[in-house]
Amino acid sequence: MTSTLHRPTPDPTPPAPAEEGRSARSLVDAVFRAREIAIGGALALLILGTWLANPGFLDDQGVKDLLLNSSILVLLAVGQSVVVMTRNIDLSVGSVVGLTAFACGHFVAGTDHSALTVVLLGIALGTVCGLVSGALVSFGRVPALVVTLGMLYIIQGIDHAWAHGEQINAANVPDGVLSLGSGSVLGVPYLPLISAAVLAATGYFLRTYRSGRELYAIGSSPDAARLAGIPVRRRILAAYAFSGAVAGFAGALWLARFGTVVADAANGWELTVVSAVVVGGVAITGGTGSVWGAALGALLLTTIGSALVVLKVDSFWQQAITGVLLLAAITTDRVVQVRTTSALRKRSRR
Amino acid sequence: MEKPDKGPAPVLALRGVSKSFGAVRALHDVSLELRSGEIHALAGENGAGKSTLIKTLAGVHRPDEGQLLLAGDPVVFHGPADARNAGIAVIYQEPTLFPDLSIAENIFMGRQPRRSAGRIDRKAVHRATAALMSRLGVALDPQRPARGLSIADQQIVEIAKALSFDARVLIMDEPTAALTGGETARLFAVVRTLRAEGAAVLFISHRLEEIFGLCSHVTTLRDGRHVASEPLDGLTEDDLVRRMVGRDLDDLYPKAAAEPGATVLSVRRLTREGVFRDVSFDVRRGEIVALAGLVGAGRSEVAQAVFGVDRADAGEVRVDGRVLPAGSPTAAMDAGLALVPEDRRLRGLVMEMSIERNIGLTGLRSVRRRGLVSRALEHGRAADWAVKLQLKYNRLADPVSVLSGGNQQKVVLAKWLATDPAVLIVDEPTRGIDVGTKAEVHRLLSALAADGLAVLMVSSDLPEVLRMADRILVMHEGRLTAEIPRERATEETVMAAATGRTAEKEPTP
């Protein structure tokens, strides 16, 4: 509700807009970069500190473990952030990972199917789960929290009923599949490479394609999105399908990585994923943030876990620290939003 | 409404359109013709069906009967996208932008220029936006996010959006309601430019002087029915008002000069960093004091700080000589203050709740029986006030969201008057309210003051300020710049103080 009344009425030669504008833009840019820089900095400090306390943390195996441990979480965070950007949430991802990991294991046990088949199966299964959630949220107009919480329990139930206390053993999983989880190129394991590729592709898509920008628009203001003629429901459905597909992919990778899969694999991961996304700067209210930030968030949370193990700190601290980070992230979001709004207002008043 | 021999077919027309929502008939056999190079006014009280008409043109609603004609051919819009593709742009009173996205993205969302492989051509987007901004003669940076833009600038963004898809029809729904004089002038200049370029404009406003100043034709609606479509030439303001309300309104502002009594509200050196500074004034029993100034001058903020919604950083508020604890609306209410806020939908009412419950909210203690809220007492209290304020409603158990703007405002007033306040603070009491209800609100405020109530009225409506207030306090950029008694108040003196050109005199200490 500020005013630009001091600006004289229609000025035939407008003052160079760049002046006022550049500062406003760089302010906003700085704010968002600040988030990613802050997480990156925290990550660097954490790694440095842990390394000083225990140099084994950063030897070849240590780095490899860190990358391997984080890659599935990073993948899930990428999928989740696409949903959160639209002002929705997908709590079913943990159970989707569990189901697809088990289903893929069941499918390949004792056969010699290739890694590609398993991955495609995982993605297909995950997409179906995502489409169900997405359809209920977008076309059924049921709040996302309720739908995906319901899906979480339903999928978990199916998984348990199917597994019936059994588990998939690595011995039954074909080597081709297992090598996806253990192999590497030039010393870098496949898993983090896959996550990085998905991350980069998603990041590029969100930035450079209309439908990508529309996801931000929907999260920023659903009403305005509808008025702008954006097919809101289709986009939300697509976001859920993507999140499901990524979770299914992650399920297949889970099988490849661990070989041994019990019915409740990835149980409870949904909250870690959401935490990673929010810590990474994707506002839970939608419209802002990037998959890069979310990936950094996932990396940070994983590293904290690994560091605590290396430092021989009781693991329950990990949850407490995650909680603190989450609250800090949400508080910063809020404060930053209030501050930038008032700063931008002052600028337009000038 | 056949006018066959008047040049080419209208760009956009409604013919015999009716639209009902359940049992409520919002539009009944309405016709309208918008022609290229013409600014057409749509007049009518709130609840007359203007919003429904706009939404029909915008493709949000589909008519039950009648036709939409685009350049003479019948069309059916299945959604806002269809209307937009047909070259119809709507600028709503409260623009709907994406706060997190840049101005450029807001304008081109879903229609960004693309380069190979469907990728967005960012540079082209920014270049096109900069071109639009200079065409509109405004200095807004394309890359700045929409968050924090003033309403006026947000409207400019909406207009730029309309230009970007070469809109042939521009529909403006009360665009000036939240604008200052300067911003309105800028908007009008832009609209006139568009008209000169051949756009057809439909302009909605409650301010008659704007209709007469800007438009050439007017269509009037009353109770969802078409009253008249005619050129404005030869029409007087009285004629138009008569068409809108169906009766004469000779006493829009019936405030009688008052005999002020003892000081009841006294504000001293009230300050809120960055918002307003050093604000001191008194309000006495029986008088209406207006707090005037431009939008953004800090008037509403002062009102909120006095009531304790916002915490003041310094200064004090006394009611009947007793200092109020800072930042406590509860204490303010106990001391006899009441605040009717500016945004009744957001702050004044719980839209989904019934009329009686809304009125009951301020007096939950007084409608209690054995510690529980008594529905019967609540109902009685609401019924009492509904009659006193001539509320037009179906049942008191209806949600307030079904009422028209004017009647919603009466509910807010009832809710606060039911607390039997000594000081009533009203923030923009008649914004977005039709002429008829406006007169009722004014009569009510006047009667309340005559009964000894002290009224502090924040208002951007200059005629309202001039004719209702016994004294006018003018704010400019967070400071009180003038105190003008009723006799010396003119549009010029108030505007001069509001724009900071002169300080009539130092406010009373």
pLDDT tens across B314-337, in order? 899 999 989 999 888 889 988 999
Token pair 């899930």 in the structure block, residue = A76
B296 and chain A in contact, CB less than 8 A? yes
Q: Does B191 touch chain A (CB under 8 A)?
A: no
Instruction: Using pLDDT thresholds of 50, 70 and 90, give the confidence band for residue A348.
Output: low
Would you say how long chain A is, in residues?
350
Report whether pLDDT(A230) > 80: yes
Widest CA span in chain B = 76
Residues of chain A neighbouring B84 (CB-CB closer than 8 A): 229
Mean per-residue pLDDT, B78-83:
85
Query: Which token pair is B371?
Result: 């510690």
Residue B140's nearest CA partner among A227, A217, A350, A287 is: A350
Q: What is the pLDDT of residue B305?
A: 92
Predicted pLDDT of residue B255:
63
User: Hey, are the CB atoms on A220 and B101 less than 8 Å from each other?
Assistant: yes
- Residue contact A210–B110, C-beta within 8 A: yes
- Which is it for the CA torsion B168, B174, B180, B184, positive or negative? positive
Arithmetic mean of pLDDT, B19-34: 82
Residue entry with tokens 């980070």? A325
Copy the structure tokens of residue A218: 């929907």
- Residue B476 to residue A104: CA distance in whole angstroms: 70
Contact B350, B401 (CB under 8 A): no
Token pair in block for residue B263: 């000081």
Q: What are phi and psi of A109, to 5 degrees?
A: -55, 125
The answer to whether B99 faces chain A, any CB pair under 8 Å, is yes
DSSP string, B407-442: HHHHHHHHHHHTT--SEEEEESTTTT--HHHHHHHH
Q: Which of residues 330-349 of A touch B (CB under 8 A)?
A: 337, 340-345, 347-349
Question: Considering only CB atoms, which chain A residues are within 8 Å of B114?
Answer: 210
Say if residues B98 and A221 touch (Cβ distance below 8 Å).
yes
* Nearest-by-Cβ selection for B120 from A2, A208, A226: A208
- pLDDT on residue B285: 92
Q: What confidence tens digit (pLDDT) does each residue in B289-300 have?
A: 999 887 778 898
How many Å is the Cα radius of gyration of chain B?
Answer: 24
Measured between alpha carbons, how far is B497 from B475 in angstroms, rounded to an integer? 7
- The confidence score (pLDDT) of residue B167 equals 85
When pLDDT is averaged across residues A143-156 and rounded to a whole number, the result is 93
- Higher-scoring residue by pLDDT: A97, B81: A97
For residue B185, give how far its alpha carbon lies from the nearest alpha carbon of chain A (Å).
6
Write the CB contacts of A336 (distance below 8 Å, at least 6 apart in sequence): A31
Average pLDDT value over all residues in chain A: 84
> In this structure, what are the phi and psi dihedrals at residue A146, rounded to the nearest 5 degrees?
-70, -45
- Render pLDDT for A186-196 as a digit per residue (tens, 0 to 9): 888 899 999 99
Decide the pairing of beta strands B73-75 and B65-70. antiparallel
The rounded distance, in Å, linking the Cα atoms of B348 and B37 is 41
Q: What is the pLDDT of residue B253?
A: 57
Query: How many angstroms separate the CA of residue A29 from the nearest CA in chain B?
Result: 10
Residue showing tokens 């004034």: B281
Output the pLDDT for position A31: 58
For residue A32, what pLDDT is reported?
Answer: 57
pTM attached to this predicted model: 0.71
Q: Which of B110, B152, B182 sits opposite A229 (nearest CB)?
A: B110
> B335, B341 in Cβ contact below 8 A?
no
Indicate the helix (H) or strand (E) that contains A78: helix A60-85
Helix, coil or strand: residue B167:
coil
**Best interface-test mutation with A: which of B111, B127, B143 has the largest number of A CBs within 10 A?**
B143
Of A6, A214, A337, the CB nearest to B109: A214
ipTM for this prediction: 0.80
Q: For residue A1, is pLDDT > 50?
A: no
Instruction: Please name the member of A28, A210, A220 whose beta carbon is closest to the beta carbon of B98.
Output: A220
Residue A254 has pLDDT above 90, yes or no: yes
Angle at A340 between CA A335 and CA A341, to 5 degrees: 100
The CA distance from A157 to the nearest CA of chain B, in Å, is 38
Contacts of B174 (CB under 8 A, 6+ apart): B93, B204, B205, B206, B432
* Nearest residue to B16 via CA among B4, B3, B26, B1: B1
Please give the average per-residue pLDDT across B94-117, as a whole number. Answer: 87
How confident is the model over A49-63, as pLDDT tens digits? Answer: 888 888 878 888 888
Tokens of B54: 């706009």
Could you read off the pLDDT of B211-247 as tens digits, one per residue?
A: 888 899 999 988 788 888 888 888 888 788 778 766 5
Contacts of B499 in chain A (CB under 8 A): 5
Residues B457-465 have a mean pLDDT of 84
- CB contact (8 A) between residue A9 and residue B185: yes
